[in-house]
Structure 1
């Protein structure tokens, strides 16, 4: 896993001092080559041993190993990963903003792809494809993606149960059977009702798949399998857009994998799309 992605993904589990080191590296990755462990420690007002221990906790032999790995990642990116790439004519804010959004979306998609190991994604595809019923749940903005993905699963001929109301979804737990799958959409994975719903679903023999940000959270920690989304930007508005974009790309890929995993699903999709087209035309 790329070093900056690893730091981001583990940040929420770090101590206060470790988070200070992590934030400095993430914000100044392109400058890290100029810092020794002592200089980094002095800049943050911490001990040099804290920097060394931080590096080793991430799986590196020491700080030089971490610095080299970050330097390689920055070199591959071609520039400061936090900066917007130049685009268009000087002073052309319209073109620059458009290019920054495009570049940031591509970076979020790439990080999300790396963060979801092929074996993990294929296991989730197998769980969903073999499930007698697939329950899909999300609240707020997450509910919009949950509803759209539930519709796609229905087009593949899957028996899908979708609710945006926690009480209605809880009532449907009586229909859960061993082998059923619950897809829970939650950006931050910290809502207590989602955790309660997931635990009860598991108690009835079902499997839970969480879809959250690539961060430590209760929902992801207790799920049977997890899909994670990487979307980072200093501007909150941009970070939210990147999350939605990367999430949609991840769901699109999952849908394509489901189509190819089972020829009968692919055939059923064609039948259902033809029925819908006929309904619209008439």
Structure 2
């Protein structure tokens, strides 16, 4: 696993000093060979021991091992190397732009896979598979992936209760029963009304699954399980694209698990698809 990929994935859980070190390493990976731990500490205005502790927290013996590992990743081209993009730019700027965006999306998807362990993904897929009803809500832009996923679950024959309004969902969860699942889409997890819905759902012995960024947020406090998305970029118009791409890949994985794990679900999907085609052709 690339050390730069690991740094990006864990950045949101780091302290302020650790984030400063992480950002410097990510921005200067190609130049890191020229920095000793003391020089890095001086450049950031921190103690040398902070650099050493940062390296050890990532699983390395010390800073030299971390620096060597980052150098190896850059040499292999999986540490954020933009050599391919630069070469493409010489031929076609649009090709280079498209290639860079693809690389950023692939990076966000890889980081997202890293912070969602297999056992967690399997447990969430199993909960959805066995749920009596699956309640789904997302407000604003979060409503777009929520609606799409609700439609996919319905196509598999899973009873889905989907709302785009928090007030209606407040009323809807009154019919929740033990074993039901509430799937809450909220990129930043800060809407108080969603936290209230999550609390009420748990009071009815339902299971709450939150879908948010990989950051501490109030909504996750009410979750029995969390799907986390890692997507970072300094450009405000690019970061949402990375979030949407990584989120979609994560949801697609769960959907495939639901299909592959139950032949009856696949047959129901085929039947519903045929019915839809008949309606379109009539």
**Paired residue secondary structure (2:90):** coil
Contact 1:134–1:160 (8 Å) recurs in 2 = yes
Name the CA shift for 1:204/1:112 in 2 (closer, same or farther; >3 Å): same
State the match for 1:249 in structure 2: 249
Distance 1:82 1:205 in 2: 50
Matches within 5 A, 1:24-35: 24-35=24-35
State the match for 1:177 in structure 2: 177
Moved over 4 A (4+): 81-84
Instruction: Give the CA deviation at 1:167.
Output: 0.7
Distance 2:36 2:135 in 1: 51
State the match for 2:138 in structure 1: 138
State the match for 1:279 in structure 2: 279
Distance 1:214 1:5 in 2: 14
Instruction: Give the CA deviation at 1:124.
Output: 0.9
Contact 1:8–1:215 (8 Å) recurs in 2 = no
TM-score (norm 2): 0.91
Instruction: Give the CA deviation at 1:44.
Output: 0.7
**Paired residue secondary structure (2:38):** helix
Distance 1:69 1:215 in 2: 26
Name the CA shift for 1:191/1:104 in 2 (closer, same or farther; >3 Å): same
Matches within 5 A, 1:61-100: 61-78=61-78, 80-81=80-81, 85-88=85-88, 90=90, 92-100=92-100
State the match for 2:106 in structure 1: 106
Distance 1:10 1:237 in 2: 23
Distance 1:20 1:260 in 2: 43
Distance 1:32 1:80 in 2: 13
State the match for 2:51 in structure 1: 51
State the match for 2:261 in structure 1: 261
Name the CA shift for 1:70/1:199 in 2 (closer, same or farther; >3 Å): farther
Name the CA shift for 1:7/1:216 in 2 (closer, same or farther; >3 Å): farther
Q: Unaligned stretches of 5+ in structure 1?
A: none
Q: After superposition, what is the alpha-carbon deviation per residue over 1:36-66, rounded to whole angstroms, capped at 9, x for unaligned? A: 1101001011111121222233343322233
Contact 2:18–2:54 (8 Å) recurs in 1 = yes
Name the CA shift for 1:245/1:72 in 2 (closer, same or farther; >3 Å): same
Residue correspondences, number: 282
Name the CA shift for 1:222/1:60 in 2 (closer, same or farther; >3 Å): farther
Contact 2:70–2:79 (8 Å) recurs in 1 = no
Contact 1:183–1:208 (8 Å) recurs in 2 = yes
**Paired residue secondary structure (1:60):** coil
Distance 1:210 1:2 in 2: 28
Distance 1:80 1:30 in 2: 9
Distance 2:123 2:264 in 1: 19
Instruction: Give the CA deviation at 1:274.
Output: 0.6
Distance 1:208 1:116 in 2: 16
State the match for 2:117 in structure 1: 117
Distance 1:139 1:27 in 2: 34
Name the CA shift for 1:125/1:78 in 2 (closer, same or farther; >3 Å): closer
Please provide the CA RMSD for this pair. Answer: 2.2
